[in-house]
């Protein structure tokens, strides 16, 4: 007899329920990462949509209502800030440039002209001395002794001459009385002549002794500045010494030797043949500062065949001693002046493969590309032959941003910068922005260079 056990009958049902729950849990674990990813994507899409709406609202708020220059009230392109300059009519100097070296007009190595001991030096190194100033003293005593000896011999021979002359007078009187023969008279005449010759020799010895005594005092032969001392007191100096005692260079005035190409010689010769004095300017190594102004002194007598250049010499007063011997300078020789030329800054001149041109600012603040003919460029200026009139404004800075017809905001050199309104600030003369207007500024307000509009 089989007995019914409830637990035995319920066992299959319990197992089936647990299996369904396990399957649902596995499906849940597989689905929840996809649900999270979908939620995150929806959030990102919502964020992007919201950001676009905010940006669109700000863009609409920053545009001035009713602003012209584009569809939907958008402003036109901002004016390009540039620097301009006026074309003027004036004189244009024509220079020839050359590399030069400052040279002293007189450089003297002072040497002793007699032998002796150097007992004193009367100058200071670097001192400015004048012609005739005492520089050094050589022991004068040997020369004083020589002078005394020469003077003594001269006195002795003078006495002998006087005695011979007195005897000659006696012989002449006796010869007139036929008391002495003619031969004796002639002998006495020769004795007198011999004594006179001895006196002349003695006078030469005295002059030589005086000259040596004078040479023992060494004086400056020129006016200039002395260099470093080459011999100290106490040394024996000789007239044959190679180095000398000191070197003196003349610096007021001073010269400049420079060269120009042989092709540039004709205009210089023309000016010299007409008797004109040509101005020469000395500039520093970088051609940024003018050191002194002088005049052309002379030109060399031949062209250097190895370099094809000609040497010229200019002289400068050099009162302030700005020029120094052996200094390197850039020499600028003024050979002509163009009168009544149209002059513009050289920075305004632009070149391409076809022509030379400038950007001219028209009255409506737009620029025009104008072809010009340049006659001469000198330093920072250029002379225009044709294509430009005095009073017109040309662009000298910011050319790389321009095209024909571009609107510009011009600032002239030396003038205060044009105040460009900041984003959201009203232009000059426009009413101040009121809260809630939603406008960035007055209509047509310019923006600083490089600032872009909001999309």
Categorise residue 3: left if φ over 0, alpha if ψ from -120 to 50, beta otherwise.
Answer: beta
Residues 6+ apart with CB under 8 A from 265: 303, 310
Q: Rank 42-56, 105-119, 376-390, 434-448 by mean pLDDT and report only the highest.
A: 105-119
What percent of the chain shows pLDDT beyond 70? 74
**Cα 370 versus chain centre, distance:** 33
Predicted confidence (pLDDT) per residue in 295-304, tens digit? 999 999 999 9
Categorise residue 61: left if φ over 0, alpha if ψ from -120 to 50, beta otherwise.
Answer: alpha
Q: What is the CATH number of domain 95-105+250-339?
A: 2.40.30.170
The answer on pLDDT for 390 being more than 80 is: yes
Measured CA to CA, the distance from residue 378 to residue 202 in angstroms comes to 72
Question: Which pLDDT score, from 0 to 100, does residue 11 have?
Answer: 45
Q: Where do runs of H (alpha helix) occur along 240-378?
A: 265-273
Run of H or E residues at 154: helix 141-176
Measured CA to CA, the distance from residue 282 to residue 104 in angstroms comes to 15
The answer on pLDDT for 111 being more than 90 is: yes
Radius of gyration of the chain (CA): 52
DSSP E strands in 20-87: the ranges are 80-86
Question: Which pLDDT score, from 0 to 100, does residue 107 have?
Answer: 93
Measured CA to CA, the distance from residue 66 to residue 57 in angstroms comes to 16
Run of H or E residues at 33: helix 6-62
Band of pLDDT at residue 376, cut at 50, 70 and 90: confident
Closest by Cα among 362, 364, 369, 349 to 392:
362
Residue reference for tokens 């001895």: 198
Band of pLDDT at residue 259, cut at 50, 70 and 90: very high
The answer on pLDDT for 453 being more than 80 is: no
The answer on pLDDT for 98 being more than 70 is: yes
Question: Yes or no: is domain 110-248 CATH 2.40.50.100?
Answer: yes
Mean pLDDT is lowest, of 392-401, 402-411, 429-438, for 429-438
Pick the CATH number of 81-89+340-411 from 3.40.50.300, 3.30.70.260, 2.40.420.20, 3.20.20.150: 2.40.420.20
Measured CA to CA, the distance from residue 211 to residue 289 in angstroms comes to 51
Contact 96, 85 (CB under 8 A): no
Contact 101, 259 (CB under 8 A): no
Q: Where do runs of H (alpha helix) occur along 240-317?
A: 265-273
Run of H or E residues at 40: helix 6-62
Mean pLDDT within 70-83 = 68
Cα–Cα distances in angstroms (integers) from residue 92 to residues 291, 377, 396, in the given order: 21, 9, 19
SS3 content of the chain, % helix, strand, coil (to 5): 35, 30, 35
Measured CA to CA, the distance from residue 431 to residue 14 in angstroms comes to 86
Residues 6+ apart with CB under 8 A from 415: none
Predicted confidence (pLDDT) per residue in 337-375, tens digit? 888 889 999 999 999 888 899 999 999 989 999 999 998
Measured CA to CA, the distance from residue 233 to residue 280 in angstroms comes to 44
Question: Which pLDDT score, from 0 to 100, does residue 338 have?
Answer: 86
Its pTM stands at 0.60
Band of pLDDT at residue 51, cut at 50, 70 and 90: low
Run of H or E residues at 62: helix 6-62
Mean pLDDT within 203-230 = 94
pLDDT top residue among 156 and 53: 156
Maximum distance among all Cα pairs of the chain, rounded to whole angstroms = 225
Q: Which residues does residue 383 pair with via DSSP β-bridges, in sequence order?
A: 343, 376
Residue 265: CB atoms within 10 Å? 16
Predicted confidence (pLDDT) per residue in 268-284, tens digit? 999 999 889 999 999 99
The answer on pLDDT for 160 being more than 70 is: yes
Q: Which two tokens stand for residue 326?
A: 């052996």
**Cα 202 versus chain centre, distance:** 65
Measured CA to CA, the distance from residue 142 to residue 216 in angstroms comes to 10
Mean pLDDT within 230-238 = 94
Measured CA to CA, the distance from residue 284 to residue 290 in angstroms comes to 6
Measured CA to CA, the distance from residue 369 to residue 389 in angstroms comes to 14
pLDDT top residue among 406 and 64: 406
Residue 340: CB atoms within 10 Å? 11
Question: Which pLDDT score, from 0 to 100, does residue 447 have?
Answer: 37
């Amino acid at each position: 007899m089989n007995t019914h056990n409830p637990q035995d009958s319920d066992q299959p049902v319990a197992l089936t329920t647990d299996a369904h729950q396990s399957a649902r849990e596995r499906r849940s674990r597989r689905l929840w990462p996809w649900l999270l990813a979908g939620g995150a994507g929806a959030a990102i899409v919502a964020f992007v949509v919201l950001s676009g709406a905010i940006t669109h609202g700000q863009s609409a708020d920053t545009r001035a209502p009713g602003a012209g220059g584009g569809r939907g009230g958008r402003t036109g392109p901002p004016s390009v800030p540039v620097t301009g300059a006026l074309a003027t009519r004036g004189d244009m100097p024509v220079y020839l440039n050359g590399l030069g070296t400052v040279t002293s007009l007189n450089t003297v190595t002072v040497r002793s002209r007699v032998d002796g001991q150097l007992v004193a030096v009367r100058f200071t190194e670097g001192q400015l001395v004048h012609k005739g100033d005492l520089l050094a003293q050589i022991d004068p005593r040997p020369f004083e002794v020589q002078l005394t000896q020469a003077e003594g011999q001269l006195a002795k021979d003078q006495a002998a001459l006087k005695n011979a002359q007195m005897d000659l007078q006696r012989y002449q009187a006796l010869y007139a009385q036929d008391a002495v023969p003619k031969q004796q008279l002639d002998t006495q005449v020769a004795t007198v002549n011999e004594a006179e010759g001895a006196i002349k020799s003695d006078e030469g010895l005295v002059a030589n002794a005086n000259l040596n005594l004078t040479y023992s005092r060494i004086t400056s032969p020129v006016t200039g500045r002395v260099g470093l001392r080459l011999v100290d007191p106490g040394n024996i100096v000789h007239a044959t010494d190679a180095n000398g005692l000191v070197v003196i260079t003349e610096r007021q005035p001073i010269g400049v030797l420079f060269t120009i190409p042989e092709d540039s010689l004709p205009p210089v010769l023309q000016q010299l043949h007409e008797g004109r004095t040509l101005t020469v300017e000395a500039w520093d190594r970088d051609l940024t500062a003018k050191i002194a102004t002088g005049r052309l002194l002379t030109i060399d007598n031949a062209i250097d065949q190895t370099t094809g250049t000609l040497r010229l010499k200019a002289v400068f007063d050099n009162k302030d001693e700005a020029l120094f011997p052996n200094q390197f300078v850039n020499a600028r020789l003024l050979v002509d002046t163009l009168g009544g030329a149209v002059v513009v800054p050289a920075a305004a001149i632009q070149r391409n493969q076809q022509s030379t041109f400038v950007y001219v600012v028209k009255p409506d603040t737009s620029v025009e590309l104008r072809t010009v003919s340049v006659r001469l460029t000198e330093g920072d200026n250029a002379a225009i032959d044709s294509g430009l009139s005095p009073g017109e404004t040309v662009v000298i800075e910011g050319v790389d941003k321009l095209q024909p017809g571009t609107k510009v905001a011009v600032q002239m050199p030396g003038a205060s910068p044009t105040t460009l309104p900041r984003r959201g600030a009203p232009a000059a003369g426009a009413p101040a922005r009121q809260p809630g207007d939603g406008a960035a500024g007055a209509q047509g307000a310019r923006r600083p260079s490089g600032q872009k509009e909001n999309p």
